[in-house]
Amino acid sequence: MFKIDPRFRLAAVEKYDVNTVLFSSILQFGDVCSINAESNALALQEEGNMFADPNKDIFEIYPIYKVIPKHLPYVPNVKLNRVNLNPTIQVGSINYNGISSASASVIGSVHSASMIARVHQIRHFLTAPSLQYQTPGISHAQPTFSQIMQPMMSQSMQPVQTDVHVQPTVPVHPVVPAQTVIPAAPVVPSVPSIPAVPARNNEPTKIKVTD
């Protein structure tokens, strides 16, 4: 059985799901002493049949790939005594869509890491674009992608012809605005008059007796 350095730990991962790992990217399980990764990419989009010289190193033409970034100032070594009571790193599940351009996925600790990614994008056109946006004091050789797409997005969209037959709808008549209603005078109902009844004669009636 092999012997494990007590300064480093193991990584127990139950599920690790990653779709894409590209361009000097690293998957690391457990502790690691150092990581060095470098990625150089050139995105060249040219209009027409224009190709670069295959006999020349494309990364030697552009000075951006020769620039060395400035690192942080040197930090002196610190005396460290580490005791790992549980030398195993327990991980349940990890899900990544993509790891690209000198990136790293590390389950554990890293003593030192140096990672750099350079991406240079160039677009060439046979004819000059119709619209050019320029800032005073700064010369713009080529417009950006968003500036080129802006006139297309601002144009009104034309109807698309399709084979789907649409049933014509009945035209809707315009709504006639309501006219002002003048309130009418209140109507007072007529009550018929009651005829007067003559008062009764309360005197006793005298009966005449004749022989």
Say yes or no to pLDDT of 121 above 80.
Answer: yes
In a domain, 162, yes or no: no
Taking 3-state DSSP, the helix, strand and coil percentages for the chain, each rounded to the nearest 5, stand at 10, 30, 60
Confidence of residue 158 (pLDDT cuts 50, 70, 90): very low
The contacts of residue 26 (CB under 8 Å, 6+ apart) are: 35, 37, 103, 104, 105, 106
In a domain, 139, yes or no: no
In a domain, 86, yes or no: yes
The contacts of residue 148 (CB under 8 Å, 6+ apart) are: 129, 131
Count CB-CB contacts under 10 A for residue 76: 4
In a domain, 72, yes or no: yes
In a domain, 14, yes or no: yes
Tens-place pLDDT, residues 92-113: 998 988 888 888 898 888 888 8
In a domain, 181, yes or no: no
CA dihedral 191, 194, 195, 200 (to 10 degrees): -170
Tens-place pLDDT, residues 164-178: 444 445 555 555 566
Which residue has 């056109």 as its token pair? 125
In a domain, 198, yes or no: no
Model-level pTM greater than 0.85?
A: no
Residue 146 backbone phi and psi in degrees, to 5:
-65, -35
Domain that holds residue 29: 10-127
In a domain, 164, yes or no: no
Task: Indicate the number of domains in the chain.
Answer: 1
Count CB-CB contacts under 10 A for residue 107: 20
